[in-house]
């Protein structure tokens, strides 16, 4: 329930902020009685498309802590927390990034994630279930995977791609709505119900198609992050960590963090894979084995 409320509240806040921005830019009225202002529509779409994506990225650390209950380690209270801080500091130095915040969140499911606005102001968090069920060399590989996400700039790149596809969806769906309203329904008096209904339907359809592109990129970056984790902690440890995830009961992270977790929703093949943020674990393990010549 807390996650749902957070999602609703943050999205309402983002929409309100962006609505004010488009009004200030004077692009909120892109429809005219006799036509459509394509430049105003493009700016409108870009503000909402990129604005929503980057506001989400800017507040991602706060969202992550709030939705998972992750507690940042400020003063380590155990040998494990000391080891976590030292390991992340060593890997961050090897990867050439600033020291991220390190946090632990309560969950029986083994998982971890990374998020943040830039490479030098990020957050790496691991679950208590991961610390309980994995050996230290496997945990080190998981941390290396998340550090690689940060070092590769995956959060920023994914936000850029999301912004592009969001802009495309908003822009094209309104053009389709205008075409159906004026050309097919022959509405010559303002913009009727046909415009609004068609726009909503088109935005849903194009949004689903666009998500396939975003998910494809996310899956590709998982292979790269696995290779980065193998480089920082050893290929054997990275393979062992993924195999440990295969054996464990899995509870997915909140949707806004899923793309940057060590493991996404339960892996599937076929059509459903198109909408998954992560490749199947067996495919990731096989890719690491091939790269190691096994």
For the chain, how far is it from start to end, CA to CA, in angstroms?
46
Paired strand residues for 125: 103, 113
3-state secondary structure of 33: coil
Residue 106's CB is within 10 A of a number of other CB atoms, namely 11
Measure the CA–CA gap between 125 and 102, rounded to whole angstroms.
6
Where does 152-294 have alpha helices with state H? 154-179, 193-233, 235-247, 255-258, 281-291
Q: Are 95 and 151 in contact (CB under 8 A)?
A: yes
> Does residue 146 have an active-site annotation?
yes
Measure the CA–CA gap between 254 and 227, rounded to whole angstroms.
25
From 146, 243, 251, 282, the catalytic residue:
146
CA distances from 17 to 20, 61, 237, 264 (A): 5, 19, 45, 31
Measure the CA–CA gap between 108 and 248, rounded to whole angstroms.
10
Measure the CA–CA gap between 274 and 203, rounded to whole angstroms.
19
Catalytic residues: 146
């Amino acid at each position: 329930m807390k996650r749902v409320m957070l999602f609703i509240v943050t999205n309402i806040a983002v929409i309100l902020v962006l609505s004010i921005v488009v009004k200030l830019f004077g692009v909120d009225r892109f429809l005219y009685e006799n036509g459509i202002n394509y430049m105003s529509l493009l700016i409108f779409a870009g503000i909402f498309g990129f604005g929503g994506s980057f506001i989400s990225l800017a507040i991602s650390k706060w969202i992550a802590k709030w939705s998972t209950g992750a507690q940042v380690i400020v003063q380590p209270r155990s040998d494990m927390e000391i080891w976590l801080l030292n390991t992340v500091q060593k890997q961050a130095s090897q990867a050439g990034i600033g020291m991220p915040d390190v946090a632990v969140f309560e969950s029986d499911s083994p998982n971890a994630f990374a998020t943040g606005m830039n490479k030098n102001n990020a957050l790496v968090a691991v679950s208590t279930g991961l610390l309980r069920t994995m050996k230290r060399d496997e945990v080190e590989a998981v941390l290396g995977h998340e550090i690689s996400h940060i070092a590769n700039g995956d959060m920023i790149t994914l936000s850029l791609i999301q912004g592009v596809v969001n802009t495309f969806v908003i822009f094209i769906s309104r053009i389709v709505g205008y075409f159906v309203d004026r050309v097919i329904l022959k509405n010559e008096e303002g913009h009727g119900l046909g415009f609004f209904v068609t726009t909503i339907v088109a935005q849903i359809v194009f949004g689903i198609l666009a998500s396939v592109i975003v998910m494809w990129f996310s899956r590709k970056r998982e292979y790269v992050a696995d290779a980065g984790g193998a480089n920082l902690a050893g290929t054997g440890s990275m393979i062992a960590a993924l195999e440990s995830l295969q054996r464990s009961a899995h509870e997915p992270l909140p949707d806004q963090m899923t793309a940057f977790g060590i493991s996404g929703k339960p892996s599937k093949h076929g059509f459903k894979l198109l909408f998954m943020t992560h490749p199947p674990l067996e495919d990731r393990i096989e890719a690491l084995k091939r790269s190691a010549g096994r």
